[in-house]
Amino acid sequence: MLALVQRVTEARVDIAGATVGTIGRGLLVLVCAEPGDTEALADKLVAKLLKLRIFSDAAGKMNLDVAGVAGGLLIVSQFTLAADTRGGNRPSFTGAAPAELGRRLYERVVASARASHPVVATGEFGADMQVVLVNDGPVTIPITLRN
């Protein structure tokens, strides 16, 4: 599984002019499933996200996780994280999971997050979304998990 995590002061997802998911301080998580990924790997991703210490403590050091700052999670599907640009100027997305698997694993990430964290908002799988965010820091961290 691939994820791109951004520490934000606020973020939202709009679809056709309507806001479908919004958080204040927290993590915007762009998620992409790959063909060999499993539900266990989706659960492992959520555990990693919840323990990721990228929020500053009183001394200004990155020592706090999202729960430690009472932050939210905004989870958005993004198959383009699997883009392969080695073959030219038009990216190939063959590294992304097929839509059915991608949807199932995205929904597993969301369900697992909701079972473990009190504030979880989402985008909509497969929709044309506009993601608006204020990246705090900026802090942006790529995560790659493999079986």
Active-site residue set = 78-80
Who's near 119: CB < 8 A, 6+ residues apart? 23, 26, 70, 71, 72, 73
Nearest-10 Cα torsion for 70, 30, 143, 33: 130
Sign (positive or negative) of CA dihedral 4, 62, 7, 39: positive
Residue 82 in tokens: 């699997």
**Whole-number Å distance between alpha carbons of 34 and 27:** 22
Residue closest to 29 by CA, chosen among 61, 62, 52: 52
Phi, psi of 104, rounded to the nearest 5 degrees? -60, -45
